[in-house]
Amino acid sequence: QLPTGLYKKVLVILHDSVLPYMNEPTLMMDFLTVAYGIGGAISLLALNGLFILIHQHNLEYPDFYKKLYSLLDPSIYHVKYRARFFHLTDLFLSSSHLPAYLVAAFIKRLSRLALTAPPEALLMIIPFICNLFRRHPACRVLVHRPGGPADMSEDPYVMEEEEPSKSRALESSLWEIQSLQNHYHPDVAKAAAVLNQSLSEMEDDISGLLELSAYELFDKEVKKKAVDVPLEFEQVRGLFGKKNDIFAEHFSLD
């Protein structure tokens, strides 16, 4: 049993400062699988070590994707380790051998959580979802299914279901992304509108978007060159701008 703070410090450096120098990295299997099951930030940080053991040392983890799916909660778009988590999730979902129901469940859960996500996270997650459609064409039924649910209560997708195979994601439609096409941030609305068109074959590079911050978005807006927008279609002739303004008889604008 380790204190939470120490758990995090160990897991942050484990994958690049400890495992490569061990004669038998598989000795860390139990430690990492237990850490992965704790939940929250500790589970996110354990992903790095598990990734190395699964890909390089043949670790078998039957419920790995079920646990990864359960880590997707509203806080995932706000946590400090967001970039690391989505980088690894992208790798784990890159295999073309994954069943369509599993990928569809991830797409629907990410989309549902995106409804309350900040703009900087949305600009990353929408291309992320588009990449999943490119890798798994069988999931495109979510986009092309006509007549989606009128409201959330009619959506067959079961958000509370922990088992991806029982979430009924493939029976649903991606109305959440369609809702984001009316987002207040124009860049988010533009990104979401991409799904209205045919997706290109080449995947989007999301590496530069993983660590996008609210400060960077704000700074970008501030540095935009201002454009003069005409606000009046009639020349101002009186104090209140009307042609027959009674004030125009007594006041004038120089």
Q: Where are the domains of the chain?
A: 98-146+154-224
Q: What is the pLDDT of residue 240?
A: 62
Q: What is the pLDDT of residue 84?
A: 84
Which whole-number Å values give the CA distances from 52 to 59, 80, 139, in the listed order?
9, 22, 28
Q: What is the pLDDT of residue 254?
A: 63
Q: What is the pLDDT of residue 227?
A: 75
d(CA 173, CA 76): 22
Which tokens is 62 given?
Answer: 């039957």
Q: DSSP states of 46-77 as a string?
A: HHHHHHHHHHHS----TTHHHHHHHT-SGGGG
**pTM of the complete model:** 0.76
Nearest to 211 by CA among 104, 98, 77: 77
Q: What is the pLDDT of residue 105?
A: 93
Q: What is the pLDDT of residue 221?
A: 82
Mean pLDDT, each 10-residue run in order, the chain (254 residues): 80 83 85 80 81 80 83 86 86 85 92 91 92 90 70 80 89 89 91 87 83 84 77 62 66 66
